[in-house]
């Protein structure tokens, strides 16, 4: 089977995959719950329905995306017709993380297949139930030489990285991203790195504080804070801090009740190693809300932390859990000192009614993407690129861009023979003035 050129085959297998993911939807939701008690609502919203929508959109558009496209020719080549061909890279390796273990494995896979590649997917070992279902679905959909799932941990991943690939798509931590980039460099393999960072969330004195608190609580504590684009820390204008903290507390209680450990809408930390890492960040005297932990169930309650020390453990790196440090600022200069201390984040959020302040923040800082007056939702628009910059990642995907990520764009000029202008050919004598004029005119 020639996966490379056969669009019908790609479409057929993606349709088969769509049917299989629909059939297995409740099993996937259950696996996500078994892995870290991901609430069913969040599993459907952020994982299964997202994959289904990605598949439908891809199947609908694949022919249009894959078709060679005519582009406007250069007058220098007159007479010609110019084309852009989308060529599959060949063998693609996809390495996925555990926090959205289904969606972040399947979505790149769908696009890699649509673009005509052979794919090996390595899901995360930290969510074994989900990994097993993914392996089952893929094995029952694809020929093993076309798409294969190889389960395992870091060692398996490194074995795969030691082989030669035509493209590597990695989602995970900055530290492992560097390992992937090093491995890819040996064969100059092109890569996408979807990494993380310390995402600031700025709230100024003009913001609708109650609504801001509600949207921040939603974005921060979904998936128990284990979201790469979750707000990492709050920067609140100091005059409105107390009022805002009251709203945050109210919104946490409204979402998860007085006992979040009993709420079916709040996930658990993925394993005890991550639980211990997060618990070590909690300094009890700084906790202004929450702070309850339970090692047996890998539980940490939604926690607000009054923070002013940028050298504290919680302000060192990405938190990736339900701990929300709250820092105050007085001036834009204060904001600059704090935000600039960290590498370019994956996302940034600003809550304000002051449009020029929002514009200034967006234009001043470099970050992957973000929102004004909301959190996370930029992820859901397929027309927006999703990816980081600097340490938060290389490359971006989603929607049509995902198809392009897994395709090499080949530029072709088809020259006509009915005319052959002699200007470009040697001998060049007496042609320099004319070519200069012509080039100036271009
Ligand atoms: P991770 O880097 O620990 O693991 C990701 C993948 O790499 C897993 O499949 C794992 O098996 C593999 N891996 C682990 N150690 C390895 C090693 N030494 N060599 C080779 N492969 C190795 O990340 P994680 O804990 O699964 O996910 C959390 C991180 O991912 C966070 O930093 C988060 O911000 C980031 N993330 C980013 C995005 C994004 O879209 N940008 C999405 C989700 C998560």
CATH number at residue 290: 3.40.309.10
439: in domain: no
C-beta of 176 in contact with ligand 1 (< 6 A): yes
Ligand 1 pocket member 171 (CB < 6 A):
yes
Q: Which atom of ligand 1 is nearest to the CA of 174?
A: 32
Burial string for 50-82 (b: 16+ CB within 10 Å, else e) reads bbbebbebbbeebeebbeeeeeebeeeeeeeeb
In a domain, residue 319? The reply is yes
Task: Classify residue 421: in a domain, yes or no.
Answer: no
430 lies in a domain?
no
Pair (215, 176) in one structural domain: no
Q: Per-residue DSSP letters for 365-411?
A: S--SEEEES-SSGGGG-TTS-B---GGGEE--BSTHHHHHHTEEEEE
> According to the model, what pLDDT value does residue 233 have?
98
Contact 3, 147 (CB under 8 A): no
Helix, coil or strand: residue 328: strand
What are the start-end ranges of the E strands in 27-88? 69-71, 80-88
- Which residue of 172, 195, 318, 394 sits with most ligand 1 atoms within 8 Å of its CB, as the best mutation to test the pocket? 172
In a domain, 423, yes or no: no
Co-location of 189 and 40 in the same domain: yes
Contacts (Cβ under 8 Å, ≥6 apart) of 148: 119, 120, 121, 138, 142
**39 and 171 inside one domain:** yes
For the stretch 151-195, pLDDT in tens is: 999 999 999 999 999 999 999 999 999 999 999 999 999 999 999
pLDDT at site 5: 64
Residues 25 and 153 in one domain: yes
Give percent of the chain with pLDDT exceeding 70. 99
Whether residues 209 and 182 fall in one domain: no
The whole model's pTM is what? 0.96
Q: How far apart are CA 229 and CA 378, in angstroms?
A: 10
Interior/surface letters 377-394, b for 16+ CB within 10 angstroms, e for the rest:
ebbeebeebbbbbbbbbb
| Residue span of the structural domain in which 139 resides | 7-195+390-409
Looking at the structure, tell me whether residues 188 and 207 fall in a common domain.
no
Same domain (yes/no): 308, 396: no
Domain count, the chain: 2
Cross-strand pairs, 120: 93, 148
Average pLDDT score, the chain: 97
Q: H helices of 222-340, where?
A: 241-256, 272-279, 332-340
The CATH number of residue 178's host domain is: 3.40.605.10
**97 and 184 part of one domain:** yes
Q: Within its chain, how far is the Cα of 159 from the centroid? A: 24
Is residue 11 domain-resident? yes
Asked if 140 and 266 sit in the same domain, the reply is: no
| pLDDT tens profile 46-90 | 999 999 999 999 999 999 999 999 999 998 899 999 999 999 999
Spot the catalytic one: 42, 47, 194, 251.
194
What's the CA-to-centroid distance between 317 and ligand 1, angstroms? 15
Decide: 326 and 245 in contact? Cβ < 8 Å: yes
Q: Are residues 352 and 219 in the same domain?
A: yes
Is residue 232 in a domain?
yes
Q: Hey, whose CA ends up nearest to atom 35 of ligand 1?
A: 172
Q: Which uninterrupted H or E stretch holds 360?
A: helix 355-364
Give yes or no: residues 138 and 15 share one domain.
yes
Q: What phi and psi, each to the nearest 5 degrees, are found at residue 410?
A: -105, 120
228 is known as an active-site residue: yes
- Tell me the three state secondary structure of residue 139: helix
Query: Tens place of pLDDT for every residue, the chain, 442 residues?
Result: 455 669 999 999 999 999 999 999 999 999 999 999 999 999 999 999 999 999 999 999 999 999 999 999 998 899 999 999 999 999 999 999 999 999 999 999 999 999 999 999 999 999 999 999 999 999 999 999 999 999 999 999 999 999 999 999 999 999 999 999 999 999 999 999 999 999 999 999 999 999 999 999 999 999 999 999 999 999 999 999 999 999 999 999 999 999 999 999 999 999 999 999 999 999 999 999 999 999 999 999 999 999 999 999 999 999 999 999 999 999 999 999 999 999 999 999 999 999 999 999 999 999 999 999 999 999 999 999 999 999 999 999 999 999 999 999 999 999 999 999 999 999 999 999 998 988 887 7
End-to-end Cα distance, the chain: 46
Report how far residue 192's alpha carbon sits from residue 195's, in angstroms, rounded to the nearest whole number. Answer: 9
Order of all β-strands in the sheet with 80-88: 69-71, 80-88, 407-415
**Looking at the domain assignment, is residue 166 inside a domain?**
yes
Q: Are residues 352 and 275 in the same domain?
A: yes
**Residue 2's pLDDT is what?**
56
Model pLDDT, residue 34: 98
pLDDT at 4: 62
**C-beta 402 within 6 A of ligand 1:** no
Where a domain ends, among 334, 364, 381? 381
């Amino acid at each position: 089977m020639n996966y490379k050129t056969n669009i019908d085959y790609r479409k057929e297998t993606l349709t088969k995959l769509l049917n299989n993911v629909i059939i297995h939807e409740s099993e996937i939701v259950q696996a996500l719950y078994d892995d870290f008690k991901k609430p069913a609502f969040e599993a459907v919203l952020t994982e299964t329905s997202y994959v289904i929508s990605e598949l439908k959109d891809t199947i609908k558009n694949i022919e249009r995306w894959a078709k060679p496209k005519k582009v406007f020719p250069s007058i220098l080549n007159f007479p010609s017709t110019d084309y852009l061909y989308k060529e599959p890279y060949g063998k693609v390796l996809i390495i996925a993380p555990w926090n959205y273990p289904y969606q972040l494995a399947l979505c790149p896979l769908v696009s890699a297949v649509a673009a005509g590649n052979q794919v090996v997917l390595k899901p995360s070992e930290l969510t074994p139930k989900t990994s097993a279902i993914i392996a089952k679905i893929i094995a029952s959909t694809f020929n093993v030489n076309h798409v294969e799932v190889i389960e395992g941990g870091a060692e398996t991943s490194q074995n795969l990285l030691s082989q030669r690939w035509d493209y590597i798509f990695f989602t995970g931590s900055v530290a492992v991203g560097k390992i992937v980039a090093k491995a890819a460099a040996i064969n100059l393999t092109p890569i996408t790195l979807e990494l993380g960072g310390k995402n600031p969330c700025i709230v100024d004195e003009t913001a609708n504080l109650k609504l801001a608190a509600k949207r921040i609580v939603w974005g921060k504590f979904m998936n128990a804070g284990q979201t790469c684009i979750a707000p990492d820390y709050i920067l609140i204008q100091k005059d409105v801090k107390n009022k805002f903290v009251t709203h945050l507390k109210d919104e946490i209680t409204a979402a998860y009740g007085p006992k979040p450990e009993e709420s079916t809408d709040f996930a658990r930390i993925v394993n005890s190693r991550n639980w211990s890492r997060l618990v070590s960040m909690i300094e009890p005297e700084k906790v202004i809300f929450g702070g309850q932990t339970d090692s047996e169930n890998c539980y940490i309650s939604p926690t607000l932390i009054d923070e002013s020390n940028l050298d504290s453990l919680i302000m060192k790196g990405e938190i990736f859990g339900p701990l929300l440090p709250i820092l105050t600022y007085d001036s834009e200069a204060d904001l600059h000192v704090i935000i600039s201390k960290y590498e370019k984040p994956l996302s940034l959020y600003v809550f304000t009614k002051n449009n020029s302040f929002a514009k200034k923040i967006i234009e001043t800082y470099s970050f992957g993407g973000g929102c004004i007056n909301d959190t996370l939702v930029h992820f859901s628009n397929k027309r927006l690129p999703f990816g980081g910059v600097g340490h938060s990642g290389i490359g971006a995907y989603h929607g049509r861009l995902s198809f392009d990520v897994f395709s090499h764009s080949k530029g072709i000029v088809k020259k006509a023979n009915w005319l052959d202008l002699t200007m470009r050919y040697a001998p060049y004598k007496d042609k320099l003035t004319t070519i200069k004029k012509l080039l100036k005119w271009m």
